[in-house]
Amino acid sequence: DAGITQSPRHKVTETGTPVTLRCHQTENHRYMYWYRQDPGHGLRLIHYSYGVKDTDKGEVSDGYSVSRSKTEDFLLTLESATSSQTSVYFCAITAGDRENEQFFGPGTRLTVL
Amino acid sequence: RKEVEQDPGPFNVPEGATVAFNCTYSNSASQSFFWYRQDCRKEPKLLMSVYSSGNEDGRFTAQLNRASQYISLLIRDSKLSDSATYLCVVNMPNSGYALNFGKGTSLLVTP
């Protein structure tokens, strides 16, 4: 158990509304990530963070922003949700002896109507 | 071209069988390789890291061929509980340890 929680676990929202997903970790890991998983695509990186206030874009970052004001929290915001952002969102951290093994939170299932 | 390619399956095998999954990756600068397991509607879980010399963890054996950019996973003596999707994963160079995932290979072990 890597001590990662995500909230909410499920959310249904309407097109055009803002949505914020939260990832919380309890073990002071430096690197945190947001991925989305869709049928036929596998997991794809949205954004990642390498420290407080230090973030960078992944391959599918359009329409998403992130913030990391504390080590333990990494927030993903959809400023104006679209139906194409219906997906399962996973947060991850790196840990382990080699510091590049990633461990995932339980996921947030988001539906945009 | 997808960075990590896997046969999606499904692989349907009887209990006790040996099954092998293969994967290829396109970025020769990748340095870290993994197999993850994902159960239906759950998060991916690290099964094993893959080392250049090959490595074994119980019934699971992983191999890496850097020259061919090819990774394999062998499962011996399959159990019903091995039924899952197996994800081949490779690091993204220069992206803070971020990972590229294959789409996964589905395994169903039957009694």
In this predicted model, what pLDDT tens digit does every residue of A50-107 receive, in sequence order? 999 999 999 999 999 999 999 999 999 999 999 999 999 999 998 765 657 899 999 9
The minimum CA-CA distance between B79 and chain A, rounded to whole Å, is: 24
**A110 has a pLDDT exceeding 90:** yes
Residue B1 pLDDT = 62
Interchain CB contact of B102 with A (< 8 Å): yes
Interchain CB contact of B92 with A (< 8 Å): yes
Residue A17 pLDDT = 96
B108: left (phi over 0), alpha (psi -120 to 50) or beta: beta
Question: Which of A32, A100, A109 should be substituted to probe chain B, the one whose Cβ sees the most B Cβ atoms within 10 Å?
Answer: A100
The minimum CA-CA distance between A106 and chain B, rounded to whole Å, is: 5
Residue B2 pLDDT = 76
CB-based contact B90:B47 (threshold 8 Å): no
Tally of CB atoms within 10 A around B32: 19
**B18 has a pLDDT exceeding 90:** yes
Residue B11 pLDDT = 95
DSSP code per residue over A94-110? EESTTS-EEEE---EEE
Contacts of A96 in chain B (CB under 8 A): 46
* Residue in B1, B4, B29, B13 with CA at minimum distance from that of residue B88: B4
State pLDDT tens for residues A22-56: 999 998 899 999 999 999 888 999 999 999 999 99
Q: Mean of the pLDDT values across residues A4-15?
A: 97
State pLDDT tens for residues B55-98: 999 999 999 999 999 999 999 999 999 999 999 999 988 887 88
